[in-house]
Every structure is written in structure tokens, then in C-alpha cells.
Amino acid sequence: MELARELNKICQRSNVLGHVWTGEDVCPAGVCRDFIVEWAAVLSRTVQPRVVPSEQQHEKAEKKDWKGHLLCMLEAGGEGDMGPHKRVIMEWTQGIKSRPQPTVWPGEPVLMMLDDLEFQWKRGRLPNLLPAMELVMLAVMNADSPVKKDVTKQWLVRKQRSQKIDAVRYIPHGVWNWICDAAEEVTLDSDSANADLLISGDEKRMRCGLERRQVPRRRQRFDGWWCAAGREGYTSGRHYWEVEVGERDWRLGVAKASAARQGFRPLTTAAGYLTLRLERGTDLKALTVPAAPLPRGLAPRKVGVHLDYELGQLSFYDAEKRAHLYTYSEKFTEELYPVFGTVEMVRDLVIRPAGVRLPCLCPGPCLWT
């Protein structure tokens, strides 16, 4: 609450943090603790505190008494261990306020995003306003940077890097549009599809057939799992695609060029695959080693996949709720191919244009060629 009050003074062009420091937005103590520890670490790495000699003497005296004070707080069940982290943040805010012009202009995109976050919080789509706090802190930290960065995108990237699972419950409109700006025309590679799969004529739909097709044997073809790869691979840039997955088991992500596609070996990170998989209609997991289960209730019907090759991030979203699901972070060195898997025999797994829901014009089941 103290931090929100100070940031509200520093960034006077938005009232969103007033909901925090007046107590309207109450966060659990554990959530506040994690927030303070995380941002104290960020500030200690990026900001050099300016301490005058008199303050140094005061600091030493405070540290001398801190151990006993900490023991008393811990015995009382308090948050005494937060003292050093709070001190880092308060020194930072004091340094900001001591500047000749303490007011910070965060930029129109940041103000629009703050308004969006506040609106969604009032609607109950955000559990708290800590994302708004993070955004203002990033804006202030970048205020003196000679290279002006788009803080709204930096906010999302940082959240996904520090919290791989369920990092952002709601992605604001402007940031979501930035993701969708990387939309790609992704098509299925029929030569890579398992012989049990049916691929539509436009190579946008797939499902399992009742009979196995007679297809030529190829090195790039999946002959075990019911999967298919995308026709185009990526070695640079940002790329985004959306997939309607239905309610039964599926898998989505990317495969490295060196990843083997034969047999029933696990399609995990150890085998060159970065994927999400839904099992039994409810169990959503990232196929790391070991697998990383995602919280129940996150299973989406429409998945957005965003690849940022240079940044080394592959992120998955619930495209209908604009919510983050999971992010892989690593240094990419190979060509990456979109990969799709399904066990559905009735409903299609469908690749859609980003943000567009195409109506089916067929009177009955979709027509196949």
C-alpha cells in the first residue's frame, strides 16, 4: 500500500493505483510478499542506490538492531523477513522523488493499458491490480533510458519469463493486438501427417479417420502419434497462430528440425518438442521433463501460439479469454515447425486466422476432398 501511494504520486496521470493504497484492492499477504521480493530483486540489479554518509551510518545502526527485531516479528507470526526487500524499494522511491521533476509521463499506450486493467479488475477478470503496479514501475524505471522501449510489451515479456505458468490472467487490448500483429498463414503439411489423419483440402483442418490411409513412407511423416507438422518452418522473427482444439485430447506447439517423428517416443523437450497437451479432457500440461501440470480450469477451446524466435519465447494463450497459459524460454538455434495433434474423430482441429472466427458454410459435416 505504501508503494502504491508513492507510485501514485510519481505517476500523476492515472488514478488506478488509488484503488490499492486506499484498501479497495486487498491482496493476500503471501501475494504481496512475493511481489515485494520479486521487485526488490529487479531493482537491486538495475538501480544503484545513492546513499549519503549520514544515511550510511543510520543504515548500519538499523541493520545492527534488525536481527532482534526480525526474531520478534517471526515469533509474532508477522512479515518481519520483508524488511530488507522493503528497504530496497523505499530507497528507490525516495531517489525518484528527489529528482527535480518527480512527475513521470508514462506515455499514451501505458495510460490506455492502465485504464484497461482497472476496467477488467472492476469486472472481476483480474484478481488484483498488481499488474498495474508492475506497469507503472517499469515506466518509471525506463523514464531516464536513452532508448525508449515499449513498456507494455516489455511488461508481458517479463511476466512470461519470470512466471511460466498462468502469468497473466488478462492481456490488455493493446498488448493483445501486438501479439496478433505477428499472425501467420499456417497450413498443415500433408506429407508430415500420420496416415490415420484426414487433412482438409485447404490444409487448415484435421481429424482422425476411421481407416488408415495408404501414404508413402517419408522421414518427416509421423508414424506413431496422431500428429502433423506445419508446412513452413521459422528461423527468425515473431509468428502467431490460433487453433480451435475442441474438448478432447490434443497437443500443440513446435518441433525442432532435428526432432524425430517416428514411433511413440515421448514428444517432450528432451526429444526436441515444445508443446502443451490436454489429456482426459481436463489435464493440461507442458511436456517438459518432468511434465509441468497447469492449474485445472485453464483448458481452453481456442489456443493462441506466439513464437518470438530472437527473444527465445514460445507462449500459449487462451485466445477467447486473452489469458496466458504457459511459456517456454530458451535460446533457439534450429528451424522450428508448428506441430498439431488430435484424437478427435468427429470434430476437427482447425487452424484459424488470428482473432477471426470463420463460419462453416456446410449444411452438415465439413466437406473433405
CA distance 261 to 273: 10
The identity of residue 68, as a single letter, is G
Domain locations in the chain as residue ranges: 2-53+81-165, 190-352
CA distance 282 to 305: 19
Contact call for residues 340 and 170 (beta carbons, < 8 A): no
* pLDDT (0 to 100) of residue 357: 42
Q: How is residue 342 written as a grid cell?
A: 488430435
Number of other residues whose CB lies within 10 A of the CB of residue 96: 20
Contact call for residues 17 and 132 (beta carbons, < 8 A): yes
The structure's pTM equals 0.83
According to the CATH classification, is domain 190-352 in 2.60.120.920?
Answer: yes
Contacts of 3 (CB under 8 A, 6+ apart): 36, 89, 93, 133
* pLDDT (0 to 100) of residue 214: 76
* pLDDT (0 to 100) of residue 148: 63
* pLDDT (0 to 100) of residue 211: 76
Contact call for residues 292 and 164 (beta carbons, < 8 A): yes
* pLDDT (0 to 100) of residue 107: 84
* pLDDT (0 to 100) of residue 166: 92
Q: How is residue 82 written as a grid cell?
A: 520483508
Give, to the nearest 10 degrees, the angle between helix 29-46 and helix 83-97. Answer: 60
* pLDDT (0 to 100) of residue 115: 94
**Cα distances (angstroms) measured from residue 206 to each of 128, 209, 244, 299, 304:** 40, 9, 11, 20, 17
Residue-wise pLDDT for 268-310, tens only, equals 999 999 999 999 888 999 999 999 999 988 889 999 999 999 9
Contacts of 68 (CB under 8 A, 6+ apart): none
* pLDDT (0 to 100) of residue 354: 74
CA distance 40 to 360: 52
Residue-wise pLDDT for 216-254, tens only, equals 778 889 999 999 999 999 999 999 999 999 788 999 999
**Cα distances (angstroms) measured from residue 279 to each of 134, 206, 212, 293:** 35, 18, 23, 11
Closest C-alpha to 235, from 327, 179, 308? 308
CA distance 367 to 369: 7
Contact call for residues 196 and 209 (beta carbons, < 8 A): yes
CA distance 304 to 319: 5
* pLDDT in 10s for each residue of the chain, 369 residues: 888 988 888 887 888 999 999 999 988 888 888 899 999 999 988 765 444 334 443 444 344 444 444 444 444 445 556 888 989 998 988 888 887 766 778 888 999 999 999 999 999 999 999 999 999 999 988 877 766 678 999 999 999 998 999 999 999 999 999 999 999 999 999 999 999 999 999 999 999 988 777 787 788 899 999 999 999 999 999 999 999 997 889 999 999 999 999 999 999 999 999 999 999 888 999 999 999 999 988 889 999 999 999 999 999 999 999 999 999 999 999 999 999 999 988 889 999 987 644 344 334 444 333
